[in-house]
C-alpha cells in the first residue's frame, strides 16, 4: 500500500455554542471514566497537576494512530469550557489562511459565495502544477472521479496560462460536492481516495470504525453516539452543530479541509467532537472527541485524537508509533492543554 507521510494533526476547537437546556446529569462520572481508560494508571500524575499523554496504534484499524491526553483543571466545568472557548483557533490563527462557516441553509447563492473563495495564490504555483498533472497517488486525497475532473479541466487550460483559476474552480467543485454529499448521506457519502491504480483508502470506513470503537460514548451517551455514527439520519436536534471550510498551510502546502462539529454542553458534562471528514492531503481523516466532567473541586478534561493515515500502515515497531504520536501531541495539542492549565494556576 502506498505510504503517506504522517503529518501533525491539528486540533481546532472553534466557537463552542452553549446550549441552554434543562439540567442534565452526566451518565458517567469522572472516576468511572478514569477507571475504564488507561488514565487509571496515571491518576497520581493527574492529581499532581500533570498533563497525561497516552498514544498507541489501533490493531483493528491499521491506518489509525490514537492519542489520549488529559488534565485536571482546578475550576468548575462551566469556567473550564469558557476558557476552551476563548482559546478556540480562528481565521487569525497561524497557519490558517481562511476559515468559513457554512450555515447549513445550503442555498445556491450561499454555496457559490463560500466555495468560490477557494483560490491558489502566486506562491502556490507548484500546487497548481501538480494538480494539472494529477493521477492516483499520495499527493492528494481524491476519488477516481475527482481525478478525472482535474484531468479534464487541465486539458481545457489554454497554452501559456497558469491554470490557477481553472484548478481553483475544480477544487471548489470537489469541496462543494463532498460537503453536499456528507450533508445528505453522512459518512456513507464520503468517497474513497484513489491512492494507486488499483488501491483505495476509505475515510468513511475509518471514521465509522473510530466512532464504533468509542465504547463509552456508545454506552453512556447513546443519543450523541447515534448522531456521530448515523448523521444525518439521526441528527440530534438537541446538539449544537457547525460546519466549516478551512484552508490552511500544512507541510508547506495549502490544504483544504471540511469539518463538522457536534457539541453537547450541559451543566454536568460537555462533549465536543470535531470530525474532519475531508482533508485534501497529508492525512486521510481526523476525529477529535473532548469530554469534560466534574472531578472533586475541579474538572477532568479528556481528549481522544484519532488520526488516520497510510503511514501507520507501514511495518514499524510499536515504540516508533508511540514516538510519532507524542510528536503530534507535543507540537499541536499539548500547547492548548498547557494554556488551559495556566489559565487557572494560582
- pLDDT digits over 222-252, tens only? 999 999 999 999 987 889 999 999 999 888 8
pLDDT of residue 271: 95
Q: What is the mean pLDDT of residues 102-106?
A: 87
Rama region for 104: left / alpha / beta (φ>0; ψ in -120 to 50; rest) = left
Distances, alpha carbon 97 to alpha carbons 94, 169, 246, in Å: 8, 18, 8
Distance CA 243, CA 261 (A): 6
Q: Cell 458517567 belongs to which residue?
A: 28
Q: What is the mean pLDDT of residues 5-29?
A: 45
Q: How many CA atoms lie within 13 A of 154 on its CB side?
A: 14
Closest CA to 208 of 315, 63, 38, 6: 63
- pLDDT digits over 289-340, tens only? 999 999 999 999 999 887 666 544 444 444 444 444 455 556 667 788 888 9
Phi, psi of 263 (to 5 degrees): -130, 135
Count of CB atoms situated within 10 Å of the CB of 237: 8
Helix residue ranges per DSSP H, the chain: 30-35, 43-47, 77-86, 108-115, 125-132, 144-155, 164-185, 203-212, 215-220, 222-230, 318-328, 334-343
Counting every residue written for the chain, the total comes to 346
pLDDT of residue 139: 86
Distance CA 246, CA 256 (A): 6
326: helix, strand or coil: helix
pLDDT of residue 308: 65
User: Higher model confidence: residue 83 or residue 18?
Assistant: 83
Distance CA 169, CA 117 (A): 9
pTM of the predicted model as reported, rounded to 2 decimal places = 0.85
- pLDDT digits over 206-220, tens only? 999 989 989 999 999
C-alpha angle 163/165/169, rounded to 5°? Answer: 115
Phi, psi of 133 (to 5 degrees): -120, 30
Portion of the chain with pLDDT greater than 90, in percent: 62
**Prior bond to 232 cis, omega within 30?**
yes
8: helix, strand or coil: coil
Closest CA to 245 of 104, 109, 142: 104
- Grid coordinates representing 118 are 477557494
pLDDT of residue 33: 96
23: helix, strand or coil: coil
pLDDT of residue 244: 95
Inter-axis angle of helices 222-230 and 203-212, nearest 10: 170
pLDDT of residue 119: 96
- pLDDT digits over 137-194, tens only? 768 999 999 999 999 999 999 887 889 999 999 999 999 999 999 999 999 999 999 9
**Lowest mean pLDDT, pick from 9-18, 43-52, 84-93, 283-292:** 9-18
Count of CB atoms situated within 10 Å of the CB of 41: 11
| Band of pLDDT at residue 54, cut at 50, 70 and 90 | confident
Amino acid at each position: 500500500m502506498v505510504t503517506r507521510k504522517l503529518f501533525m494533526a491539528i486540533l481546532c476547537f472553534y466557537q463552542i455554542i452553549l446550549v441552554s437546556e434543562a439540567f442534565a446529569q452526566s451518565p458517567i462520572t469522572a472516576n468511572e471514566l478514569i477507571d475504564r481508560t488507561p488514565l487509571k494508571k496515571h491518576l497520581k500524575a493527574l492529581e499532581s497537576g500533570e498533563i497525561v499523554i497516552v498514544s498507541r496504534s489501533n490493531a483493528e484499524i491499521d491506518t489509525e494512530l490514537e492519542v489520549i491526553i488529559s488534565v485536571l483543571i482546578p475550576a468548575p466545568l462551566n469556567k473550564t469550557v469558557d476558557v476552551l472557548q476563548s482559546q478556540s483557533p480562528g481565521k487569525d490563527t497561524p497557519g490558517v489562511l481562511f476559515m468559513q462557516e457554512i450555515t447549513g441553509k445550503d442555498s445556491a447563492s450561499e454555496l457559490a459565495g463560500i466555495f468560490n473563495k477557494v483560490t491558489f495564490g502566486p506562491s502556490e504555483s507548484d500546487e497548481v502544477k501538480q494538480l494539472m498533472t494529477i493521477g492516483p497517488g499520495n499527493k492528494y486525497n481524491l476519488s477516481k472521479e475527482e481525478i478525472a475532473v482535474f484531468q479534464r479541466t487541465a486539458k481545457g487550460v489554454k497554452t501559456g496560462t497558469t491554470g490557477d483559476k481553472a484548478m481553483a474552480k475544480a477544487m471548489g467543485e470537489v469541496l462543494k460536492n463532498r460537503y453536499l454529499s456528507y450533508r445528505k448521506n453522512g459518512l456513507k457519502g464520503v468517497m474513497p481516495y484513489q491512492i494507486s491504480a488499483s488501491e483505495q483508502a476509505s475515510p468513511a470506513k475509518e471514521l465509522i470504525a473510530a466512532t464504533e470503537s468509542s465504547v463509552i460514548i456508545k454506552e453512556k451517551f447513546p443519543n450523541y453516539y447515534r448522531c456521530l455514527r448515523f448523521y444525518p439520519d439521526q441528527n440530534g436536534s438537541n446538539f449544537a452543530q457547525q460546519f466549516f471550510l478551512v484552508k490552511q498551510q500544512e507541510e508547506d502546502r495549502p490544504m483544504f479541509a471540511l469539518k463538522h462539529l457536534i457539541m453537547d454542553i450541559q451543566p454536568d458534562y460537555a462533549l465536543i467532537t470535531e470530525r474532519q471528514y475531508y482533508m485534501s492531503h497529508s492525512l486521510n481523516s481526523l476525529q477529535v472527541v473532548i469530554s469534560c466532567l466534574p472531578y472533586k473541586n475541579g474538572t477532568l478534561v479528556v481528549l481522544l485524537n484519532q488520526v488516520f493515515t497510510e503511514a501507520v500502515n507501514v511495518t514499524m515497531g510499536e515504540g516508533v508509533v508511540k514516538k510519532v504520536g507524542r510528536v503530534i501531541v507535543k507540537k499541536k495539542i499539548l500547547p492548548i492543554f498547557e494554556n488551559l492549565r495556566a489559565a487557572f494556576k494560582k
